[in-house]
Amino acid sequence: MRSFTVNANDSGQRLDKFVTKTAKGLPTSKMYKFIRKKNIKVNGKRAEINQKLAVGDVVEMYIPDEFFSEVTSNEEYERADVQLNVVYEDENILLVDKKPGILVHTGDEGDKNRTEEAERTTLIFAIKAYLVSKGEYDPANENSFAPALCNRIDRNTGGIVIAAKNAPTLRAVNEAIKKRELGKFYLCAVHGIPEKKEATLKHYHLKHHKTNTVRVLNMQVPGSKEMITSYRTLKVNHRRDMALLEVTLLTGRTHQIRAHMASIGHSLVGDGKYGINASDRRLGYKYQALYSYKLRFDSDEEELLYLKGREFEVDKKEIFFLELFK
């Protein structure tokens, strides 16, 4: 039998969610069976699958040890292979400038490499290691929570990634993102100079999971979703026939900016998936010229009110493609 006392980061979640995170090797079907048969109890009593947990509740699990993973020790976070570039930090939240080429999680974008060595090269590992070193995260003191990313950025795209240090902040940021109460602004360099200096593009997005690519359609078809992208031209380089754009997303679709701009004849510099970038690579641009450079908090979530109206930007000296427009 293993017993877990619910702490602040565990509270507010359903019992089944807590068990899934705590006994990671337990199949879902067995978990529901164990709850029904009172092998899993809350405060010594029979519990419901959807029961909400509160601070101080004691969850007892009379299940085999094989379903539990070993607790990660602080020593495992002594070395991370990714250098963090912190944009902003407080007791609840961490904003990090992710460099192009870094994967946020193992297993993302079709990556099958989930080894311990590969994990050390991810952004989330570096963030956990950073917080362990500061004494703000101790895996041994957590039942079901670990610092987590609230948004993700493609491996070859750079920009601001949001990490939550506690569960209430994680829930609040995820809700703000769902309600589109976080303003995310991107810079990108595109081939060609758009005829309209600024515009809002409305099309349909169809994802092909096997190839991890998307098609941009003029009409809706089964499986497609609307996507809306706004851009405005900031600078142009007539000699290279390129433009620097600021882009905002009114929807959040896979590869939205890259696919949407390519669909109107302005593929991103360095983008080998939606453009032809052989010449870009000869110029040294091995990553797509896309950067999530600015973030604005517009949320009314209680946990985020102290950030409302504030904007955060990366150091523009770090954006490699801006040299094209000096």
More confident call, 323 vs 120? 323
297: three-class secondary structure by DSSP: strand
Say whether both 170 and 115 belong to one domain. yes
Q: Which among 67, 89, 119 is the end of a domain?
A: 67
Q: Is pLDDT above 60 for 123?
A: yes
Q: Which among 125, 160, 178 is the end of a domain?
A: 178
Cα separation, 140 vs 197, whole angstroms = 54
Say whether both 158 and 60 belong to one domain. no
Banded model confidence at residue 204, pLDDT cuts 50, 70, 90: very high
Q: Please report which helix (H) or strand (E) contains residue 161, including its range.
A: strand 158-164
Banded model confidence at residue 285, pLDDT cuts 50, 70, 90: confident
Say whether both 52 and 91 belong to one domain. no
Say whether both 32 and 114 belong to one domain. no
- Amino acid 71: pLDDT: 61
Query: Cβ neighbours of residue 2 under 8 Å, at least 6 residues apart?
Result: 60, 61, 63, 65, 68
pTM of the predicted model as reported, rounded to 2 decimal places: 0.85
Q: Is pLDDT above 70 for 272?
A: yes
Domain assignment of residue 27, yes or no: yes
Say whether both 30 and 81 belong to one domain. no
319 CB neighbour count, 10 Å cutoff: 19
Look up the CATH number of the domain holding residue 212. Answer: 3.30.2350.10
- What's the gap between Cα 114 and its chain centre? 18
Please classify residue 171 by burial: count the beta carbons closer than 10 Å to its beta carbon, then call 0-12 exposed, 13-18 middle and 19+ buried.
Answer: middle
Look up the CATH number of the domain holding residue 42. Answer: 3.10.290.10
Q: How many structural domains is the chain composed of?
A: 3
Count CA within 13 A, CB hemisphere, residue 208.
8
Residue 286 structural domain: 185-292
- Amino acid 1: pLDDT: 84
Q: What does the block give as tokens for 277?
A: 């970038």
Q: What does the block give as tokens for 241?
A: 């026939």
More confident call, 244 vs 121? 244
Question: pLDDT tens, 287-319?
Answer: 899 999 999 999 999 999 999 999 999 999 889
Domain assignment of residue 208, yes or no: yes
Domain assignment of residue 321, yes or no: no
| Alpha helix positions (H), the chain | 15-22, 28-36, 116-119, 123-133, 167-178, 256-263, 278-282
Domain assignment of residue 284, yes or no: yes
Instruction: Return the minimum-mean-pLDDT range out of 54-58, 66-70, 125-129, 183-187.
Output: 66-70
Say whether both 119 and 156 belong to one domain. yes
Q: How far is CA 156 from CA 26, 160, 194, in A?
A: 35, 13, 24
Q: What does the block give as tokens for 210?
A: 């096997």
Longest Cα pair distance anywhere in the chain, in angstroms? 74
Say whether both 161 and 205 belong to one domain. no
Buried b (16+ CB within 10 A) or exposed e, 85-99: eebebeebbbbbbbb
- Amino acid 116: pLDDT: 62
Q: Report the chain's terminal Cα–Cα distance, integer Å.
A: 65
- When the pLDDT of each residue in the chain is averaged and rounded to a whole number, the result is 90
Question: pLDDT tens, 218-260?
Answer: 999 999 999 999 999 999 999 999 999 999 999 889 999 999 9
Mean pLDDT of 102-128: 75
13 CB neighbour count, 10 Å cutoff: 18
Mean pLDDT of 185-204: 96
Say whether both 87 and 117 belong to one domain. yes
What angle (nearest 5°) sits at the alpha carbon of residue 323, between those of residues 198 and 199?
Answer: 5
Question: pLDDT tens, 23-80?
Answer: 888 999 999 999 998 999 999 999 999 999 999 999 999 998 888 876 666 667 777 7
Q: Is pLDDT above 90 for 210?
A: no
Domain assignment of residue 13, yes or no: yes
Q: What does the block give as tokens for 181?
A: 């109460």
Q: Is pLDDT above 90 for 108?
A: no
